[in-house]
Amino acid sequence: MIAPIAGFSKLSKDEKIEWLANTYFQNNETVVNTLKKYWNTDEILQKLHDEFIENTISNFYLPLGIAPNFLINNQLFVIPMAIEESSVVAAASKAAKFWLDRGGFKATVVSTEKVGQVHFMYFGSTEKLKNYFESIKPEFYTATKHITQNMEKRGGGITNIELRDKTAELDGYFQLHCTFETVDSMGANFINSCLEEFAKTFKDNAENFEDFTSEEKYIQIVMSILSNYVPNCLVKAEVSCPVASLTEGETMDADEFAAKFVRAIQIAKTEPYRAVTHNKGIMNGIDAVVLATGNDFRAVEAGIHAYAAKDGQYSSLTHAEVNDGIFTFWIEIPLSLGTVGGLTSLHPLVKLALEMLGKPTAKELMKIVAVAGLAQNFAAVRSLVTTGIQKGHMKMHLVNILNQLEATEAEKKHFITFFKDKTVTHSAVVDAFNAYKVAQA
């Protein structure tokens, strides 16, 4: 049985690796060498990476690719994407090229409101609580002035604070529901700092509110935290063109393609099982850009998926229609992003990615990310209703399978040519590879 370890965080990186190898790998030299192989040879850069998180033992790399030819609001972009899944970058690039000659993508920011809440318990008169809130509300702004002054200089700050009665859902539960504008920062630290100051002000001043009884003066602050659900921090992206321009080669005419495409979106709106996979494909594009630009993809995922269920059933994030011969495809999603603070000024590749995008503001980045999600979904649905998803995906996955089989460069070249006009499946590649090896023996 493995014993717990005390003081692990105080060990050096080499000592942590040595303990790991001795405890879980019987001092396997390969484990040690593998971990150290992924250290950066630039010691300053490696130290920077080591300090991003705790108990660092190595770096975990993801490929950084680029998808060119994105025409967004009449400006051409190359979009950085950090992701491990085959065909995502290729699909985005293909969609970008498709829409390049059809007017490109249009994107607009609808709103930029962020949310935070102070959750507390109170079991006295609701009317007295409301009166107390109104009396203390100006003090919230005064108490946080030292936090908000720099944000206000940039055009942001606290936009509203309201008391919400949630006792119908949970006995004694109330909240301060607060909204913020954080301009070009994601704003998590700013929002949480404000909320904690609100909570202190709210609790401490209750002692001096003369209408409260001694019991009512006790307000239990449960927690103060931002919300990653930001339904009023919205961006919309869309594409449109005449149906006649939706050429799909000899396999399907434009009218049939448009009808099947719209029907596929309707199915994703109606059927949650399909909607989850449909939206996962959208997030392939969104997460890849969010990660490449140093933003919090977990927060973005949580907020977007909650938005997909805002009407009581999980549904498609994208929409499509044909009106008067015009095909329109669009997405409207909540996105809380930043282009200053956090990793945006620390991680060298994040800085490079933002420079690649023209050093965008947070609003501009919202538009780019939304377009990446829409492009990814267009490419996926387009494949689904025509050739099927596996044809393109497995072609991209072919090299991964060959790498698993430890194929040489010459063998990879041979099988890429061999499968050029064949269906790629894992078993087909393995069988062909084994047969080839036997023939070569």
The Cα 304–Cα 307 span in angstroms is: 5
Amino acid at 156: G
The single residue of 280, 420, 422, 426 carrying the catalytic annotation is 280
Contact 25, 19 (CB under 8 A): no
Q: Is 248 a catalytic residue?
A: no
- CA quadruple 432, 435, 437, 439: dihedral positive or negative? negative
Both tokens assigned to 413: 């070249």
Active-site entry in 114, 393, 395, 397: 393
Active site residue 280: yes
The CB-side HSE value for 268 (13 A sphere, CA atoms) comes to 24
**Is residue 328 helix, strand or coil?**
strand
163-200 burial, b at 16+ Cβ within 10 Å, e below that, comes to beeeeeeeeebbbbbbbbbbbbbbbbebbebbbbbbbe
Clarify whether 211 is annotated catalytic.
no
Choose the catalytic residue: 50, 85, 248, 301.
85
CB-count burial class (<10 Å; 0-12, 13-18, 19+) for 6 = exposed
Backbone CA torsion sign across 206, 207, 212, 218: positive
Q: Which of 383, 380, 379, 353 is nearest to 368 (CA)?
A: 353
Q: Which position among 269, 296, 347, 397 bears the catalytic label? A: 296
d(CA 321, CA 329): 7
Residue type present at position 162: E
Residue whose token pair is 């080669």: 249
Positions annotated as catalytic residues are 85, 280, 296, 393
